[in-house]
Amino acid sequence: MVNLQLINNDAEFVAANEMPVGPFGTSVFGSIKGYPVRLDFVINPANDLRAVHLFDLRTKALLAERLMSRTFDEAIEAYPWAATIATLVLT
């Protein structure tokens, strides 16, 4: 689903390793356009909302503000992929 969004930005997420982050999240390490990234899928247990986070592993920086949605599908669709890819490439 992430790659369906990234294809619009001439990019692809290539997964390398997946790791659970407690009972409310999963981190997937990989790369986009050759840049190392971490993609987090998290659930806020207080309100049962989901978020997607993309981190640049070179700078340890979150590439966009946290967006909360009712489903991961909605969170992925609403994520500002074009802006984050531009930031990743320009950093």
Total domains, the chain: 1
Domain span at 77:
2-90
Residue 9 has pLDDT above 90, yes or no: no
Per-residue confidence (pLDDT) for residue 65, from 0 to 100: 77
Instruction: State the DSSP code for 33.
Output: T
Supply the pTM of this predicted model. 0.89
Number of C-beta neighbours around residue 31 at 10 A: 15
Per residue in 33-78, pLDDT (tens digit) is 999 999 999 999 999 999 999 999 999 999 987 779 999 999 999 9
Instruction: State the DSSP code for 79.
Output: S
- Quote the strand ranges of 5-85, DSSP E: 13-20, 25-32, 35-44, 49-56, 61-62, 68-69
